[in-house]
Amino acid sequence: MSNFRNLMQTAKHVIFAIPVAITVNDSVVSTACIEGGSMQPVLNPKGSTTRDRVLLDKFSIRMGRYKRGDVCLLKSPDKPNAWIVKRLVALEGDKVKTDAQGVIPIPQGFCWIEGDNEDNSIDSKQLGPVPLALIHGRVTHVFWPLNRLGKVPRIFPKERVLIGYHHPWP
């Protein structure tokens, strides 16, 4: 009889844990495997034989806490079934100075994304501003391979971004 009680107790815990785990994975934190080289050298550096596995902060994104320099996982704006990882360079209300297009204002609800490896990245330089709604999570840490364990740095080209429309370009 005690085996049956133990089984029922375990079943209760599992029944409770499954929806909690699903909610945490969908809304708070999850993981992703990084494909490609557009974020080199920060992610998937050249010479690495293992793709980086990263931790995604979904809660900050759900709360609208975007920051310039964040590395984000987002739905590809030009390939709806694909995921891409890029750096947030500018947010709504900013202006971005580009070589090819001059100064680009970022409209409400949009952002400017770029890969760190500009020779191997399709990003806002080709696609223009992308909707913030495509962002799925913020890449915070590399957890695999273990020799690359660490925080993903938040950097952005300050010399190319004018924060907000109310400032004249220097």
Res. 168 pLDDT band, cuts 50 70 90: very low
The residue ranking higher by pLDDT, 19 or 99, is 99
The CATH number given to whatever domain includes residue 43 is 2.10.109.10
Q: Which of 96-100, 109-113, 152-156 holds the top average pLDDT?
A: 109-113
Catalytic residue, chosen from 58, 60, 86, 125, is 86
The pLDDT of residue 170:
42
Spatial strand order in the sheet of 102-105: 102-105, 95-98, 161-162
Q: Residue 115: pLDDT above 60? A: yes
Residue 64 burial (CB count, 10 A): 8
Instruction: Look up the domain containing 140 and give its range.
Output: 29-162
Q: Is 46 a catalytic residue?
A: no
Q: Work out how many domains the chain is built from and give that number.
A: 1
C-alpha to C-alpha distance for 69 and 67, rounded to whole angstroms: 6
Q: Residue 149: pLDDT above 70? A: yes
Structural domain includes residue 169? no
Q: Residue 166: pLDDT above 70? A: no
The residue ranking higher by pLDDT, 122 or 49, is 122
Catalytic residue, chosen from 2, 12, 27, 38, is 38
The closest of 59, 55, 80 to 131, measured between CA atoms, is 80
Q: Is 67 a catalytic residue?
A: no
Helix (H, G, I), strand (E, B) or coil at 4: helix
Residue pLDDT, tens place only, 15-52: 776 765 566 566 667 899 998 999 999 999 988 878 99
Structural domain includes residue 103? yes
The closest of 152, 92, 82, 87 to 121, measured between CA atoms, is 87
The DSSP line for 105-163 is E--TTEEEEE-SSGGG--SHHHH-SEEGGGEEEEEEEEEESGGG-EEPP----GGGEE-
Q: Residue 70: pLDDT above 80? A: yes
The pLDDT of residue 169:
41
pTM for this model (two decimals):
0.83
Structural domain includes residue 10? no
Q: Residue 165: pLDDT above 60? A: no
Structural domain includes residue 98? yes
